[in-house]
Amino acid sequence: MPDIQEINPPELWDAGGNKTHVVKVGNLVFIGGQRSIDDNGDVIGKGDIHKQAQQSYAYLVAAVKAVGGTANNIVKTTTYLTHPDYVIATRPVREEAFGNRRPAGTIVVVSSLATSGALIEVEGIAVLDE
């Protein structure tokens, strides 16, 4: 069985014991969905897709940093949005998070997310340097 590490970095919102934000297996890192919420589960930037996207990507990057990586180690993202118009609205935030890199990405439009008022959720896969 591989060495599997489950990590909930303090920089991320409180997972409440029912979720692991980061799972590291060797040099692979799986980052669970990051929504723009605080430790109480309240939405940060309610009604503002730009602010919510900034916070979600900031959490994503903080998650990979917690295991010794950077945004450059993120190779795949899946982004869940509650409206198709948010695809274009969130593009500049994604570009800001990754600079000149373009990780593989999937975008899914859903009717709602697990937190009422959340407009975006981003998950990722990273490969750490060996």
Tens-place pLDDT, residues 31-89: 999 999 998 989 999 999 999 999 999 999 999 999 999 999 999 999 999 999 999 99
- Across 26-72, where does the E strand assignment appear? 28-35
Q: Residue 12 is part of a domain; what is its CATH number?
A: 3.30.1330.40
Whether 22 and 11 have beta carbons less than 8 Å apart is answered as no
Which pLDDT score, from 0 to 100, does residue 46 have? Answer: 97
Query: In total, how many domains does the chain have?
Result: 1
Structure tokens at 105: 């990405």
99: DSSP letter: T
Pairing between β-strand 74-81 and β-strand 104-109 as defined by DSSP bridges:
parallel
pLDDT the model gives residue 93: 96
pLDDT band at 16 (very low <50, low <70, confident <90, very high): confident
- pLDDT > 90: what percent of the chain? 87
Report how far residue 85's alpha carbon sits from residue 127's, in angstroms, rounded to the nearest whole number: 31
Residue 17 has pLDDT above 80, yes or no: no
Tell me the pTM. 0.94
Instruction: Detail the DSSP E strand segments found in 8-119.
Output: 22-25, 28-35, 74-81, 104-109
Checking if the pLDDT of 96 tops 80, the result is yes
Taking the C-alpha atoms of residue 67 and residue 124, their distance in angstroms, rounded to an integer, is 13
Give residue 78's Cα distance to chain centre.
8
Q: Which domain holds residue 46?
A: 4-127
pLDDT of residue 15: 80
- Rounded CA-CA distance 109/107 in Å is 7
Confidence check: pLDDT of 130 > 80 = no
